[in-house]
Amino acid sequence: MNTPLRSTSSQGPAANVLTVGEITRRIKAVLEMGFADVAIKGEISNFKHHSSGHFYFTLKDEEAQIAAVMWRSRNHTLYFTPQDGMKVIARGNVTVYENRGIYQIDVIRLEPLGVGELQIAFEKLKQKLTSEGLFEPSHKKPLPPYPERIGIVTSPTGAALQDILNILSRRFPALEVIVNPVRVQGPGAAEEIARAIRDFNEYGDVDVLIVGRGGGSLEDLWAFNEEVVARAIYDSRLPVVAAIGHEIDFTIADFVADLRAPTPSAAAEIVVHNHTELVDIVSNFHYTAKEILENRIASAKEKIRNLLRSYSFNRPFDVIRQHSQRLDELERTQARVMAHRLSLNQQHLLSLEHRLQALNPGAVLKRGYAIVRRQGEAVGRAERLRVGDEVDLQFHDASVPARVEKR
């Protein structure tokens, strides 16, 4: 059945026609107000770490997928490196990228989906560094038998530091100890540890380094499973003793280090070789007061986050992020255009080169032709020659003198 055509006027349906931008903004407002502070479980794919510092990736499961973006101001707080195939929980807000008309999740927090995912990432990095030779025994440096100055990279508030200092002071009171305090877990901890190792190498005036912390879960120890820490230990000119967690805990740093100690206390005993009586290991401090304070701070932060989740408050930041994402797209487009133009120019130059070669007189002479010269001037017509004229015949490899006998 055919549908009859109907005329429209300014009072008819056409009066409600929206522009693409208007309908997109309406959809954006509905989605972002209705899907704020969501948690999505899925598998990472198409992960890209853009030169701007932002993370772009896709979250997928067996039924669907959703685009995801995590801005540089947030992703630098991750304690692990996202990888394709890793199952995660992404917490954030559903937003609409207006330029492309797609919805995406603006990720605020990203967590591995259980210990299994971290274990997979651990095994992947271990396999990669093994293939590069970072764990080779030939690279291990011997420890000095009687060190005079020891460098320590650990948390300034952890029980591990107190254990090391107590044992070192009792076993060798005259020993000089230099502590480079760092965070040993949480966002940015791996970078701080790697920087501290490099700082000690630049300083140079220590004999051996102890790098470590007290025990904890796989997540607590994850900073020592990051590639940046492994490469800093591998590149260290100073011998490094890894003293991370308890005896049953193993990290990537343990495999790269010149020597692994089962505990921080054992590291102190290994580094200082003497026959003095063993000292009692200082008991771990209880963190009850610290945990209470951290819980109160977390509660206050949650209240602030609730205020910041409102759409009106976040609109200016959203505009900036939209433009930032658009700039990333324009940058990729410009790179493709420049590469195409360069290819065209190269083809044009090659064509000109072929044409020049075709016009080269030497190329013509190689095909069996010769140039007739009289007194150095090329003769293009036979009527210009007279009997008895002395001429030179120019071939491609040499000139031959000749004489005109008849015409």
Tell me if 2 is assigned to some domain.
no
Tell me if 294 is assigned to some domain.
no
Higher pLDDT, 2 or 197: 197
Higher pLDDT, 360 or 235: 235
- What's the pLDDT score for residue 200? 96
3-state secondary structure the chain: CCCCCCCCCCCCHHHHCCCHHHHHHHHHHHHHHHCCCEEEEEEEEEEEECCCCCEEEEEECCCCEEEEEECHHHHCCCCCCCCCCCEEEEEEEEEEECCCCEEEEEEEEEEECCHHHHHHHHHHHHHHHHHCCCCCHHHCCCCCCCCCEEEEEECCCCHHHHHHHHHHHHHCCCCEEEEEECCCCCCCHHHHHHHHHHHHHHHCCCCEEEEEECCCCCCCCHHHHCHHHHHHHHHCCCCEEEEECCCCCCCHHHHHCCEECCCHHHHHHHHCCCCCCCCCCCCCCCCHHHHHHHHHHHHHHHHHHHHHCCHHHHHHHHHHHHHHHHHHHHHHHHHHHHHHHHHHHHHHHHHHHHHHHHHCHHHHHHCCCCEEEECCEECCCHHHCCCCCEEEEECCCCEEEEECCCC
Which of 254, 284, 314 is the C-terminal boundary of a domain? Answer: 284
Which of 236, 260, 284 is the C-terminal boundary of a domain? Answer: 284
280 and 144 in one domain? yes
Based on the structure, what is the number of domains in the chain? 3
98 and 170 in one domain? no
Residues spanned by the domain of 388: 363-403
Q: Which helix (H) or strand (E) holds 103?
A: strand 102-112
Tell me if 236 is assigned to some domain.
yes
Question: What CATH number is given to the structural domain containing 273?
Answer: 3.40.50.10550
pLDDT exceeds 60 at position 280? no
Stretch 58-75: mean pLDDT: 90
242 and 102 in one domain? no
Stretch 379-391: mean pLDDT: 76
pTM of the model: 0.47
Query: Please, what is the average pLDDT of the chain?
Result: 82
Band (7; pLDDT cuts 50, 70, 90): very low
pLDDT exceeds 80 at position 53? yes
Tell me if 159 is assigned to some domain.
yes
Question: What CATH number is given to the structural domain containing 42?
Answer: 2.40.50.140
91 and 53 in one domain? yes
As a whole number of angstroms, the distance between CA 259 and CA 255 comes to 8
Tell me if 69 is assigned to some domain.
yes
- What's the pLDDT score for residue 87? 85
Q: Which helix (H) or strand (E) holds 122?
A: helix 115-131
Band (117; pLDDT cuts 50, 70, 90): low
For 297-333, the pLDDT digits (tens) are 888 888 887 777 766 666 777 778 887 888 888 888 8
- What's the pLDDT score for residue 278? 39
Pick the range with the lowest mean pLDDT from 41-50, 123-132, 362-371.
362-371
Stretch 381-406: mean pLDDT: 77
pLDDT exceeds 70 at position 105? yes
Tell me which residue of 130, 129, 106, 136 sits closest to 308, measured CA to CA. 106
Stretch 193-211: mean pLDDT: 95
137 and 280 in one domain? yes
Band (8; pLDDT cuts 50, 70, 90): very low
Stretch 270-285: mean pLDDT: 54
266 and 138 in one domain? yes
